[in-house]
Amino acid sequence: MAKFFAFCFLLLEFATSVFANNPPEILNKTCVDVDIGFGLQINIYIDTCPEAETIIFSGVQNAVSQDSRMAASLLRLHFHDCFVNASGCDASVLLDDTEDFVGEKTAAPNLNSLRGFEVIDAIKSQLESVCPQTVSCSDILAIAARDSVVISGGPSWDVEMGRRDSLSASKALANNNIPGPNSSVSDLVAKFQNVGLTLYDMVALSGAHTMGKARCSTFSARLQATSVSNGGDINLDFLRSLQQLCSVSGSNTLAQLDLVTPATFDNQYYVNLLSGEGLLPSDQVLVTEDDQTRAIVEEYVVDQFTFFEDFKSSMVRMGSLGPLTGNNGEIRRNCRIVN
């Protein structure tokens, strides 16, 4: 299966280079439905902890009901966990620093940015009381990400489970591997390929920015833009509103990634890009720098169902690449520290 997935990935790379300016529809679907989770499977806790998914969903639902932004935060936690190293989604992002260990929470993409750790703690505590050392923290992150999307009006999917938790973390890898808010399309593609994901996965997963907020400091480059909308770099009315917000309140002020439906998981993010209203530079470049990514954005604008289907497939792919399974890693009792 590993060899087959490698072949599929190489096929996609070859095909995207050949059809760079006019990608056929089939490329967007190639190998998407292949089971690439080595040792992962759905409903893995059906016998060992049958209440697991219900407990996780309830915890996420309660958190989002108190703070609608939490849905985006929990989804983002899963992303930042999966992008750090070869072992993929391993809950390394949840580890606290100790006297002799520096984790990933203070890495530049995470510091004063990631949130929702206490929600995961509460869910883990409840699971430990029902079925001790059974459900991994990394599986909790993956399931909570799915539930956050569902609760916000987005699609559902079967989460492959069976991940184990890492025994370490890497601040250096978090700094180097997590895509930044000022990334170009080529930078984004390289970061996604680094973890085994394609250009198509990148555009679909970028749609997670249809929810949540970002600090003014993360999109300061947008405040200097001068191009007009209608496919250009930025909508001038949108620019003025951002300049006013950030000049009055400062660099730590939060702005909605999607002003139209900020707490709903939908395709409005892509509509915003075509209007020159992508908040982060790394969002807007999807329609200004590359014809291939722009074509995908345009498809998602007219067909939300296609976006949902592609997002689901890409989430499964991201969550299933190179996980710790078997005797690797552990099932942490507390998500913040190794056992």
Query: What is this structure's pTM?
Result: 0.86
Tell me the catalytic residues: 80
User: What's the pLDDT at 248?
Assistant: 81
pLDDT at 8 over 70: no
Mean pLDDT, the chain, integer:
88
- Tokens for 260, please give them: 């139209």
Model confidence at 232, pLDDT cuts 50, 70, 90, reads: low
pLDDT at 194 over 60: yes
The percent of residues in the chain predicted with pLDDT above 70, rounded, is: 86
Positive or negative, the Cα torsion across 17, 20, 23, 27?
A: positive
Q: What are the residues whose beta carbons fall under 8 Å from the beta carbon of 60, sequence distance 6 or more? A: 70, 71, 74, 119, 123, 144, 147, 148, 151
- 284-318 per-position pLDDT tens digit: 999 999 999 999 999 999 999 999 999 999 999 99
User: What's the pLDDT at 38?
Assistant: 54
- The DSSP secondary-structure symbol of 153 reads T
**Structural contact between residues 301 and 274, judged by C-beta atoms closer than 8 angstroms:** yes
Cα–Cα distance, 191 to 201 (Å, whole number): 11
Instruction: Kindly state the average pLDDT of the residues 113-131.
Output: 97
Distances (CA, A) of 53 to 43, 130, 153, 303, 308: 9, 12, 18, 30, 22
User: What's the pLDDT at 225?
Assistant: 63
- 145-192 per-position pLDDT tens digit: 999 999 999 999 999 999 999 999 999 999 999 999 999 999 999 999
User: What's the pLDDT at 32?
Assistant: 39
Instruction: Kindly state the average pLDDT of the residues 91-98.
Output: 96
User: What's the pLDDT at 84?
Assistant: 86
> Among candidates 215, 199, 296, which has minimal Cα distance to 254?
215
Cα–Cα distance, 185 to 199 (Å, whole number): 9
- 39-88 per-position pLDDT tens digit: 899 999 999 999 999 999 999 999 999 999 999 999 999 999 999 877 78
Instruction: Kindly state the average pLDDT of the residues 237-259.
Output: 90
Model confidence at 31, pLDDT cuts 50, 70, 90, reads: very low
User: What's the pLDDT at 6?
Assistant: 41
Mutual angle of helices 199-206 and 185-194, in 10-degree steps: 110
